[in-house]
Amino acid sequence: MVSPKTRYLIFFQYFGSKYSGVMETSTDQSVVGVQNYMEKAAQNLKPVIPIKFHISSRTDAGVHALCNSAHLDIQRATGKPPFHERELICSLNYHLKSEPIRILSAYRVASSFHARFSALSRTYVYRLLMGCTHHSEIPVFERDLCWAPGGGGLEFWEMEFRSRSFLYRQVRRMVGALVAVGQGKLTPRHIKELLEIKDSRAFPPHAMAPPSGLFLKSVEYNEADLETMMTAGE
């Protein structure tokens, strides 16, 4: 006999510039996903069966997360109790210490809970640095964390988007379209035509905002799904 599975919801963050995206990829690639590193770290927990992370929100190569989420099932050997949330966080972070990935919090949840399908909404933030005429003017600590399309006065603008779900590269298209209109590269009429066509392939490639300025800010759930279990800090 082995111990029953315990399902956890974790919230985590990462600096996306060095990864192929958040989702798992083949390990023979030169650049792999955030999920690859988290699952490798999780095997140090010595589970009975390999641990699989079910990611709530997909992010592409170069996109960052202030807070993404995933659920995972852990089955331990006979006689071993379920991990306490704080124990799980500390262990995963210890084995992720060489990577810009950190587990923020963890919850024990019902076996029917799903990180993706139980989410109520996702919130993204896009950061623009206005006033730079050349990429060398971007502050060194911000070079992989924003887009500098130009404009007067050195200041950050942040655009926030919240929805239950998003289409592929939707936020980057919306931001890029707004910037292109501001720069005179597209007109409001062009935007209207693109919306009426309803074909992402018609979107001008030059108007796509780069991934470096995009952050997944948060994933929201019904508190009732979480409040019956002990949180990481309790």
What ranges make up the beta strands (E) of 27-115? Answer: 54-55, 64-74, 101-109
Active site residue 60: yes
User: Please, is 147 exposed, middle or buried when counting C-beta atoms within 10 Å of its C-beta (0-12, 13-18, 19+)?
Assistant: buried
What is the rounded distance in angstroms from the CA atom of residue 48 to the CA atom of residue 40? 15
Average pLDDT over residues 59-82: 95
Q: What's the pTM value of the predicted model, to 2 decimals?
A: 0.90
Residue 44 has pLDDT above 50, yes or no: yes
What is the rounded distance in angstroms from the CA atom of residue 181 to the CA atom of residue 195? 14
What is the rounded distance in angstroms from the CA atom of residue 99 to the CA atom of residue 93? 9
Element (H, E) at 220: strand 214-220
Residue 35 has pLDDT above 50, yes or no: yes
What is the rounded distance in angstroms from the CA atom of residue 221 to the CA atom of residue 216? 15
Q: Are 217 and 66 in contact (CB under 8 A)?
A: yes
* Gyration radius of the chain's alpha carbons: 20
Residue 21 has pLDDT above 70, yes or no: yes
Give the residue with greater pLDDT, 147 vs 153. Answer: 147
Q: Could you tell me what percent of the chain has a pLDDT over 90? A: 71
Q: Calculate the average pLDDT of the chain.
A: 91
Residue 137 has pLDDT above 90, yes or no: no
Residue 228 — very low, low, confident or very high, per pLDDT cuts 50/70/90? low
Q: For the chain, which domains are there?
A: 6-118+221-225 (3.30.70.580), 121-217 (3.30.70.660)
pLDDT per position as a tens digit, 180-219: 999 899 999 998 998 888 888 888 888 899 999 999 999 9
* Token pair listed for 229: 């279990």
- Catalytic hit among 60, 73, 144, 225: 60
* Token pair listed for 199: 């074909």
Residue 178 — very low, low, confident or very high, per pLDDT cuts 50/70/90? very high
Element (H, E) at 123: strand 121-130
Residue 231 has pLDDT above 80, yes or no: no
* Token pair listed for 157: 């603008």
